[in-house]
Every structure is written in structure tokens, then in C-alpha cells.
Structure 1
Amino acid sequence: MSDALRSLPTAVRGRGLDHVVAAVAELERAAETWERLGFRLTPPARHPWGTENRVIQLDGSFVEILAVADASILPEPTETAFSFGAWNRDFLARRGEGLSMLVLESTDPAADRAAFARAGLRTFEPFGFERVAVSPEGEARTVGFDLTFAAFTGAGENGEPDAGFFTCRQRFPENFWRADHQSHPNTARRLDAAVFVAPDPSDFHEGLSAFAGVREFHATSAGLVIPTPRGAIEVVTPAAFRWRWGAEALPETPDRLTLAALRFGVSALGEAASQLVAGGFTVADRAGAFVVTGIHGATVAFEAIPQG
């Protein structure tokens, strides 16, 4: 993304992929799995409301591997306040492990909230927090985030998404991003797409487009592609998902909008494949992408970044 485009408010240029939350039962067990996939993870961090995470940093986006550390202090949601911790607790109880939330970037939380309200999305009270992040070398840095939660219902009988949505503005990005955390043995550089599955993808184009702040989307025989300034949001039918990633990638057919897969762009596809094999994974070569299923409820695909 160019500096000129990045300087525009997200409400004007649209909202790119910021991160995806992967809810897991045991943080360190899941971290070991992602490390075997060839990713380098940040040290463990604890949220003040009872969840803990480790992060996979990429070029401007990341994957947040999240677990409930202390359920006794998780705040419950209200009519006006969204609870990040309670949402993921309930997701794990309802679904088991999997990709629980899609997060888009923000430069102006108040503008995001106003835009969501104008588009008919449900909004919640503003929420922000700061914490101290400690590097592997023991250096302490303050990181802070402003989260703007939103919710929407699609058309049709099963319109309630089985995923959470919010935008995230970093208060101190210079303290969060580290070049050494973005150097992965599998050569992953970016998150190219978050892939949803829905019985009828068209039921959700209005809600997802409003959330992303983009008006244009591409309809295909498989479903929808919503391009953003950083990566894409894809929504496909269960049949299309299985055709692309394999039947084992979707053992059960979801009846609601479900976040099911992530597509990563890598610099060296051969090196990514070597890392996956060394990690003990069964790897499928599907349409030029190396695909691994059953990663704590998610499918991950590695695709070569076009040269030039």
C-alpha cells in the first residue's frame, strides 16, 4: 500500500486486513503447531481481562493465537458493551477451536463507528487498552489498541454469522512491529485472504462490504471476493471450499457464515513446502497452493507471491 493511500482515513479508502483471531484451547500446544508450520511467534502475552495470546506478525497484518487463561475474570457482554474475552470463550464452547474473529485496520475508531452505524451495522461502546510487551531480549515496550466492534445479520434463514468483527487502531505501532518477528522459516510475508464459508455467500455481501468500507466486490461461481487495501475477504459455498481445498478441509457443513481458512503469500514456495514436510504435516498441492488442514480448526494455504 502506498504512503499516500495509507494516509487517507480508512472510512475513505476502505479497511485492509489487520488480523485474524484463532481461538484455541491451549495456547502453547497451538503455538507449537504453528511453529511447526514454519512461523515465528512472539512471546506469550496476557490481557487484563483473562485471555492470553501469541502473535504471528506479517507485513502489516498478523494472526493472533488466543486462549482463555482465567475464565473467572472474563467480563460479560451487555446490550451496549462487547466482550472480546467472553466472545472467544463462548466460541470455543460452541464450536471448538477455530478462526473466531476477523479484524480490519483502523486509523479513526470514531469514524469507523459512525460509518458502521450509517450502514446499519450494530455498534458497541468504544473500547481501548494498553499493556506492556516484553521482547525476547527482555525489553519492555508499551503497546495500545483501540477496538471498534460491529455486528450484522445476513439475509436468509441463518443470517447470524459464526464469527466476530472489529477494527483495530494501534496507538504505538512502532512498539508493536518488529522485523525479527516477521522473518519466518516458511518465508511467509503476508496474509492474502481470510476465507469464509456460507450456504449462500450473497446473503452476506452487504454486511461484509459495509464492514470493509468498500462498495465493489466480485461475484464468482464459487461465491464472493471483497478486495481490501490489504488482502481480500472471500466467501465461498461449502461445495466450492471442498473443491478447492479438499473434502477433509470441511468435515462438517456450516449452516452460517464461518471463517474457515487463511491464505498466506510466501516468497519461496519450495521452502514453505520443506518446512511443512519437516513439521510432519500432510501437504496437498492444490492449484499451485500447498494446503494443510486441521490446524486447530482451520485450513491454511501457502501460495507463491508473484515476482515483479
Structure 2
Amino acid sequence: MPHGLDHVVHAARDLDAAADFYVRAGFAVGGRNRHPWGTHNRIVQLTNCYIEILEVAEPEKILPHRPRLFSFGAFSRDFLARREGFSMLLLNSRDAATDARAFEAAGIGAFEVFDFAREGKRADGRTVKLAFSLAFAAEPHSPDLGFAACQHHFPENFWNPSFQNHPNAAQRIAGVVMIANDPASHRGFLEAYSGVKPVRTEGGVAARTENGVIDILNPSAARDLLGFPVEAGGAGIMLNALRFAVADPSRTEALHRQNGLAVRRHGEKLVLPPKEAFGATLIFEAAKES
């Protein structure tokens, strides 16, 4: 079953400081949400995908990994012990139970579906119910990057145009950029995970989903894209960057500079590097006319 982008987890040691960065970068950021397993998050929502800024706020509540149980809290704690940045990629799902079975059959996951619910608030202050089911996957050589498919049970309560109006003119997430020393060796995993047959690109492979592109680039191709050197983590994949489609890059750049961010011009792109972006890289490019 083909999947598109749903959301990306940006793990940070100080949730409010990371959220303040996103505000200065021109995004509307939601309020603090609390999970019963010890993590807290704040959300940046775009039309097609969202960023979950996340911290481990209550480590005493974290459940350990167990056979067939992927502990979201334990994974996030262990990731943050090493670094900050993009820790998980989650694709959309129409049926998490079906996806979990498919991942297991493909040899990329042997986890039970994880169900959870919480309350959310609409822009007018009304409380609404939110519920999700996650089917986790794993890339054998990439223990530092989490993968899952996310089913929204009340999508009408989550996706809201009122939360998608950003001062930096960002409209959608055009794609995610992952780095690997040998992108082709991850082609089988990418196809099994995304449900989309990857194509070869200059310096990597890409799955062009219905809802954004998943690129895996080698370090040389990533350097050409970003304008600065990047390194892969051994034999595995690292999630390095998000590509944002913006209505007016000049407006975006002016806002970043006004807010004291060291945004870089690289060709026709704007780049906020990891030193600014809590271990992540944000790329802003002109939205293509449909």
C-alpha cells in the first residue's frame, strides 16, 4: 500500500527553546501536549505534513522496549542522549494493522500496533478528540532513526487550516532528505516502507510519494544540495533535512534575518543549518506552480 508523508519528529532537549526557534523561523507553533509515556510535544502543521517538536519531559514514565513493543519514549530518550535533530519519519496510513502485517511480511518490522488518544484544541478553543495508531518499522542498519506509519482516526479534528498559516509563507513540506554512504543499499527498505518504487537520482535514490519526496543522498550529493559538508552515520540512514515549499522566498529570507537567524543562500534555496536549528536542517524553496 503506498504511503505519503505524515510527520517528522524533531527531538530537542528543551522543547520551548526549540519551539521558539521555529517561531523565529516564521512558523505558527501549537501549545504543549503531554503523553502518558513521558514525552511532551508541540506541533508545526502544514497543509500536507507536520513537525512534532518533542522532548523527554518526564523520564520516570518511560516504558522499556519489549519484544514486539517499540517504546517511543525510550527511543526518544536514547536519541537525545546522543544528539538533537530529526529522529523519526512517519508516513500516512489508512489502516495501521494492515501496514504492521505488511512490514512484518517484508522483514522490516515485528511490532504490535500502538494505539493512543489525547485531547486537542481547535483554534477557537474547543476541545476535540484525537486518536492515532502507529505501525512501526525498522531499517536494520539504522538504529538511530525511527520509522512508522501513522493512522489518524479523527483527521477532521487534527488537520486545520487555522494552524497552517505561517508568517514565513511556508505552504507544505515538499520532501525529506536522508543521508547514507550507500543510498542504493537502502532501496529495498525504502520500497517496502513507502510502498513506492524508488528511482535513481544524481547521488542517491528517491521515493516520489503522493505527498512529498523521500530522498536518500550520499554525502557528496547532500553537500551539493545544502552548501555545506555532511556526514552519514556508518552503514545506516540519517534524517538530515526538510524541504519547505514557500510562496515567496524573499519574504522568508527577510523574516529570518529580521529575527537574527543565520540563514544561508545556496543557489535558489534558503538553508537554516543544524547549528541554528537544534541539530536539524531546514531548506526553503519556491513553491512550484501546479
After TM superposition, is the score higher than 0.5?
yes
Matched, 1:297 2:279: yes
Pairwise CA distance, 1:26: 0.5
Matched, 1:243 2:231: no
Instruction: Indicate the SS of the match to 1:42.
Output: coil
* Partner residue in 1 for 2:233: 254
Instruction: Indicate the SS of the match to 2:81.
Output: helix
Do 1:43 and 1:136's aligned partners in 2 also have CA atoms closer than 8 Å?
Answer: no
Q: C-alpha distance in 2, partners of 1:40/1:271? A: 16
Do 1:161 and 1:258's aligned partners in 2 also have CA atoms closer than 8 Å?
Answer: no
Map Cα deviations across residues 259-305 of structure 1 (whole Å, 9 max, x no partner).
Answer: 01010111122211122111211222223111110211111100111
1:198 maps to which of 153, 160, 180? 180
Pairwise CA distance, 1:253: 4.6
| 1:12-91 mapped onto 2 (5 Å cutoff) | 14-91=2-79
Pairwise CA distance, 1:110: 1.6
> Residue 253 and residue 160 in structure 1: after superposition, are their counterparts in 2 closer, same or farther (change >3 A)?
closer
Q: C-alpha distance in 2, partners of 1:177/1:122? A: 28
Instruction: Indicate the SS of the match to 1:30.
Output: helix
* Partner residue in 2 for 1:218: 199
Matched, 1:132 2:119: yes
Instruction: Indicate the SS of the match to 1:123.
Output: coil
* Partner residue in 2 for 1:8: none
Pairwise CA distance, 1:235: 0.6
1:233 maps to which of 206, 209, 214? 214
Pairwise CA distance, 1:115: 1.5
Q: C-alpha distance in 2, partners of 1:287/1:254? A: 27
| 1:180-199 mapped onto 2 (5 Å cutoff) | 180-199=162-181
Q: Which is further off, 53-62 or 268-277? A: 268-277
* Partner residue in 2 for 1:207: 189
Pairwise CA distance, 1:195: 0.6
Letter matched to residue 191 of structure 1: I
Q: Percent identity?
A: 40
- What are structure 2's unaligned runs of at least 5 residues? none
Do 1:238 and 1:253's aligned partners in 2 also have CA atoms closer than 8 Å?
Answer: yes
- What are structure 1's unaligned runs of at least 5 residues? 1-10, 154-158
1:111 maps to which of 98, 105, 108? 98
Q: How many residues align?
A: 287
Pairwise CA distance, 1:183: 0.2
Map Cα deviations across residues 237-256 of structure 1 (whole Å, 9 max, x no partner).
Answer: 112212221226x3x55323
Letter matched to residue 199 of structure 1: N
- Root mean square deviation of aligned Cα: 1.4
Map Cα deviations across residues 11-38 of structure 1 (whole Å, 9 max, x no partner).
Answer: 1xx1000000000001000000011000
Pairwise CA distance, 1:161: 4.5
Matched, 1:174 2:156: yes
Letter matched to residue 37 of structure 2: W
* Partner residue in 1 for 2:245: 265
